[in-house]
Chain A
Amino acid sequence: MSEARNRVSLRYGARQAIQMWRLVAAVWLVPMVLGAPVVIAARRALAPMLGPIPMGGAAPGDVGLVLMWGLSRFGALLGIGIVSFLAAMWAWGVLWHAGATGWLAWATGRRLRVGEVVGLGVLRWWRYARLALTAVAGAVVLIAAACLPLQLLARAARRHLAETRMVNLQLASLVLAGLLLWIVWTATLRGAWVLANPQRRSAALAWLEGLTGTLRDPLRSLGCVLAWGVSVKLLVLAPLLLGINVRVFAGTFLGVVTALVLGLLRAYCIVALFLSFAPVSGLIVEAEPDEEPEVTEEPQVIERPEPVAPELEDSDPFTVPSTPLPGNGSDPT
């Protein structure tokens, strides 16, 4: 067995996401299912208004006016629908992240089942929700601490009609806020894998450990998030941009298929991003670059001793025994 490396690994994430393709499929499908009510409701509300208008034969400006009118009539309901969608998406995000860490930590060579991941996610949901809320609080504190002074300086510059200085300060504030959000996101991903260890209960401490880990290994950590994150953003924008600029993608079968494929790729990138941080947990062994990894369908697993005692700290049936796991640098006995 090669020596474990507790470092973020783009390659590991990319490979593991392919192996956990069922999870990728779930991450692809579930948002569509969650968003379906909103999309269906919006289309059912607006389609009858737009349907009678001939394609390319409307009076100038009519389509825009009809859309505006339709949205204004159903705007409140759509707003509620969108907020509900976002809440559901957040909950789902926490769920599958929690489930994925639990599954990887617990994996004994079995084929991944989405149901198991979901089950593990449900059991761990609150722990990971606390992690997500910690991240939000951390972001607010960090951004406020960093950007507030800049905003105050910008306000002073405005009073003195120093517009260039004002805008530069505001831009710096925006860039800094973006950078901090990036760091917070990375720290949260690392923290999620720290929390994978069942010994770790404190979400706040896990997040802080994630933050320190990020700052200790910034290039690799941030670079990984940048690479996968930018891909995700582009894949979200791509169907819209294609549909707007290339007529053949706007509302056609080709357009729908393209959007679905891009959505699947997006899901892959999202899962790969998360799994790229798995090695930091110490639960995962990644093959050295010069080793030929065994090509198996199942993820590489660690030989673990059988669970020692049924005395568990909580009722979680999936809790791994408290014996330290190999690869963490500690004596397993």
Chain B
Amino acid sequence: MKRLLILAVLALLAAPAWADNEPVEVVNYEIQVRLDPEHHMLHGTEVVRWTNTASAPTGELWWHLYLNAFASSETTFMRELGRRFLRGGPVREMHWGWTHVTAMSLEDGTDLLPQMSFERPDDGNPDDYSVVRVKLPHAVPPGGSVLVHLSFEAQLPKVVARSGWAGDFHLIGQWFPKLAVYEDAGQRGRPAAGWNCHQYHANSEFYADFGSFTVTVTVPEEWVVGASGVELSRRNVEAGTSREIQVTYRADRVHDFAWMAAPASLMDVVEEEFDPGRDVPAPWLTEASRLLGRSASELELPPVKLRLLIPHSQRFLADRTLLSARLGIAWYGLHYGPYPYPQLTIVDPPITAGEAGGMEYPTFITTGGSRWLRYPPAKWVPLVEMVTIHEFGHQYFYGLLASNEFEEAWLDEGFNSFAEASCSAAAMRDHLFPDVPFYNPWTGNRASILFRTIPVKVDRFAWAFRTRNDYSTASYPKTAVVLKTLQGLVGPEAFARAMRTYAERFRFRHPGGDDFIATFNEAVGADYTWFFDQALRGQKFADFAVLRVSQRKVGEPDGYEWRDGSWEEIGKTEESKPTPVAGPDPTGGETSGTKPAAGEHQAEGQKKWKVAVDIGRRGDLEGPVDVELVWDDGTREQRTWDGRDRWVEWTWTAPHRLERVIVDPKGVWAMEGHRENNYWSAKALASKGLRRLWWVGDALALVGLLALPWS
């Protein structure tokens, strides 16, 4: 009993460690790799120790060979890519890439190459070689581990989909044979333990286990290298007639490793530090403290070393890039927990390597810039800032909360889009980086919902969307506005605390959509499954509207009224009783409005108006919505409609008329794109609408000037 009590106390003491989840190290990589810059090839050896953390044994290992997706035009990736690269350029002048595992054996020397087979679990495409299965001579039991030695060669493609070379610049991502994830029963809703290993699709990204990496890269002597993790050592080596450098990096508690190499003549290296005392804006700390209900000391952030590799020609962007990284570290750290690594490496790829830009790997991100950003008007646009913050944000959504990007891309892209828009909006509000007049970081997200003719469902496998545009809309802006709507529905404080709970609970874990929903509901203390089912798992869209407003004068009643057992002519009695107002059951589509208090005498000659307002749903998403009613005597009334039925009618007999009706006055329903039907006004529309359009004639004159300078 005493022992049980001690264990219980220890368990309770361990509970706050939610905030300090440590990863279970599943896999350990030791990689030696040499870059041949002339042929853009890698020659490497890899020692991988894999531990079975599931509750069931496995007799095979599944690997990703991502570079094989670029082996030919017939791979699954290239077939799905179509005619445009991910960053929009036309697909042409392809230089293909591949990975060739030349040797694979166990620690005892057992050759595994004969046991290797290519698999196509998603589409059966025989020309796709991005997934490999290796059968082991003995199953690895739960808790057991296996050590594999392998050698490989990789041909880097000319930069496509985040990886490859452009001239002498090499961005080396998804370059090594990488183990897939062996999921346990119950993990992310799995019924039984098994390997989760998908082919590389044009729409998908990645999924891997946490572990550690020790990587030694060998490049020509006069080159610079940037990589995940921290540099442990470097030394010069002679290789025949050429001289090279070997740089060793170590990255712990990560699930991927990427690096870049380029001549020092091409890239500048700038190093700075994120200093929490200097770089956390005071208003952000105050706001986060209030939202999360935590003191400033509880939200303390550690320093982080920043290492930026940027082309000479874009050196002027270094300050902006590093400032943005510091703002990102501050924002995400305050809201989702401290960045747990000692260093962040940022690479700004040169021109022609744009396909490698805008990407994230643990502790290593790529941004994107241009020398044109030195000159107006491009200079005034906060593009560098927003990309840097977004890519840094992926250190959390995907990096620390290592969701499966193949199956639930929205969990990282959408969540990060929400966080990045929130951070950018705060930065612009506080003038921490350039703000563009009339620009709201949320407008673009909301507009992408507005113009969709077919609603898109968020929760799909990445390659199961009808088009790439559908994938992008669902994973990025739609999820972002869904979260924004949720923030409005539950309130900013409850929302912030729920998100923080999720971020802490699943740090260094593989959360799924169900994990997030369950955590969110628990944290806010209410069940919002009805919302998630419609917004994320369904294809419903929100569109609330003012359907009708009618106001007519109530005439004096005429005729007879039944009173005290007999018919009496109306108006002939000494007392006048209040006129009853229609208003049965509020949930039947009709609710009652204000009415005079019983017994109150209506002033002679006081006008009465019969007012009816119909609020409805043009969209099929059901949910509560606020409605603001403004009367012409200045009084304002706020009501909430539960949105379950298709419409509701509110009626009043009132001494005043309605002046204005606004559905969702605070913009809680960010996922509602059609806002033109949310407003009704009794007053003449012409002047108000025209006043807003004062600029039309001047804009036309400007168009004339640009097209016909002499006009």
Contacts and interface: CB of A to CB of B under 8 A. Distances in A.
Interface of A: 31-32, 35, 38-39, 42-43, 46-55, 57-66, 68-70, 72, 82, 85-86, 89-90, 93, 158-164, 166-167, 171, 181, 185, 229, 232-233, 236-237, 239-240, 243-244, 250-252, 255-256, 259, 263, 270, 273
Interface string B656-697: 000010101111000001111011110011111111111111
A161 B450 contact: no
Nearest to B679: A52
A270 B311 contact: no
For the complex, would chain A's binding face be called helix, strand, loop or mixed by DSSP majority?
A: helix
Nearest to B694: A251
Interface stretch (B23-31, B144-152, B165-173, B611-619): B165-173
A47 B685 contact: yes
B16 interface: no
19 contacts: A31-B704, A49-B676, A49-B689, A52-B681, A59-B678, A61-B442, A61-B443, A65-B443, A82-B703, A89-B708, A89-B711, A159-B167, A159-B352, A160-B167, A161-B351, A163-B311, A236-B698, A255-B694, A256-B694
Nearest to A63: B692
B167 A163 contact: no
B689 A60 contact: no
A240 B667 contact: no
For the complex, would chain B's binding face be called helix, strand, loop or mixed by DSSP majority?
A: mixed
A62 B697 CA distance: 22
Contacts of B667: 59-62
Contacts of B710: 93, 185, 270, 273
Contacts of A166: 351, 371
B439 to A, nearest CB: 9
B698 A50 contact: no
A82 B680 CA distance: 31
Contacts of B312: 164
Contacts of B443: 61, 64-65
Interface of B: 166-169, 266, 311-314, 350-352, 370-372, 374-375, 437-438, 440, 442-443, 446-447, 450-451, 660, 662, 664-667, 673-676, 678-681, 684-705, 707-711
Given A93-B710, A229-B709, A270-B710, A251 B660 contact: no
A62 B660 CA distance: 16
A72 B453 CA distance: 13
B676 A70 contact: yes
Given A39-B700, A161-B311, A185-B710, 12 more contacts: A31-B701, A39-B697, A52-B679, A53-B688, A53-B692, A55-B688, A63-B692, A65-B443, A86-B704, A159-B352, A237-B702, A251-B690
B352 A66 contact: no
A53 B702 CA distance: 27
B689 A48 contact: yes
B708 A86 contact: yes
A232 B314 CA distance: 36
A52 B661 CA distance: 9
Contacts of A52: 660, 679-681, 685, 688
Contact of A158 (B351, B374, B692, B702): B351
A59 B705 CA distance: 35
Contact of B701 (A48, A62, A236): A236
Contact of B446 (A61, A185, A229): A61
Contacts of B679: 52-54, 58, 62
B252 to A, nearest CB: 34
Contacts of A185: 709-710
Contacts of A259: 697-698
A67 B654 CA distance: 35
B624 to A, nearest CB: 16
A78 B453 CA distance: 21
Given A51-B685, A55-B688, A42 B675 contact: no
A31 B707 CA distance: 14
Contact of B693 (A47, A59, A229, A263): A47
A90 B708 contact: yes
A226 to B, nearest CB: 12
B327 to A, nearest CB: 21
Contacts of A171: 375
A73 to B, nearest CB: 10
A50 B352 contact: no
Contacts of A63: 692
| A-B pairs with lowest CB-CB distance, top 3 | A51-B685, A59-B667, A47-B689
Max chain B Cβ within 10 angstroms of own Cβ: one of A63, A89, A243: A89
Given A51-B685, A259-B698, A60 B676 contact: no
Given A59-B665, A62-B675, A163-B313, A47 B690 contact: yes
Contacts of B169: 161
Contact of A167 (B371, B438, B442): B371
A217 B687 CA distance: 53
A59 B666 contact: yes
Nearest to A48: B685
Contacts of B266: 161
A270 B675 CA distance: 43
B704 A85 contact: yes
Contacts of A273: 710
B440 A69 contact: no
Contacts of A85: 700, 704
A31 B313 CA distance: 46
Contact of A60 (B375, B442, B678, B695): B442
A51 B688 contact: yes
Contacts of A162: 313
Contacts of A68: 447, 450
A167 B374 CA distance: 10
Contact of B352 (A43, A54, A158, A236): A158
B691 A55 contact: yes
A43 B673 contact: no
A271 to B, nearest CB: 11
Contact of B689 (A31, A46, A69, A181): A46
A167 B700 contact: no
A50 B693 contact: yes
A240 B689 contact: no
B478 to A, nearest CB: 15
Contacts of A38: 700
Contact of B703 (A65, A86, A159, A263): A86
B711 A270 contact: yes
Contact of A251 (B168, B447, B691, B711): B691
A284 B633 CA distance: 70
Contacts of B680: 52
Max chain A Cβ within 10 angstroms of own Cβ: one of B312, B679, B688, B709: B679
B450 A65 contact: yes
Contacts of B168: 161
A50 B685 CA distance: 8
A55 B679 CA distance: 12
A65 B711 contact: no
Contact of A86 (B685, B695, B707): B707
A184 to B, nearest CB: 10
B448 to A, nearest CB: 11
Contacts of A47: 685-686, 689-690, 692-693
A60 B669 CA distance: 11
A251 B692 contact: yes
B167 A161 contact: yes
Contacts of A48: 685, 689
A163 B371 contact: yes
B37 to A, nearest CB: 13
B689 A50 contact: yes
Contacts of A270: 710-711
Contacts of A49: 676, 689
Nearest to A97: B710
A167 B313 contact: yes
Contacts of A39: 696-697, 700
A312 to B, nearest CB: 31
Nearest to A229: B709
Given A64-B438, A86-B708, A240-B702, A161 B681 contact: no
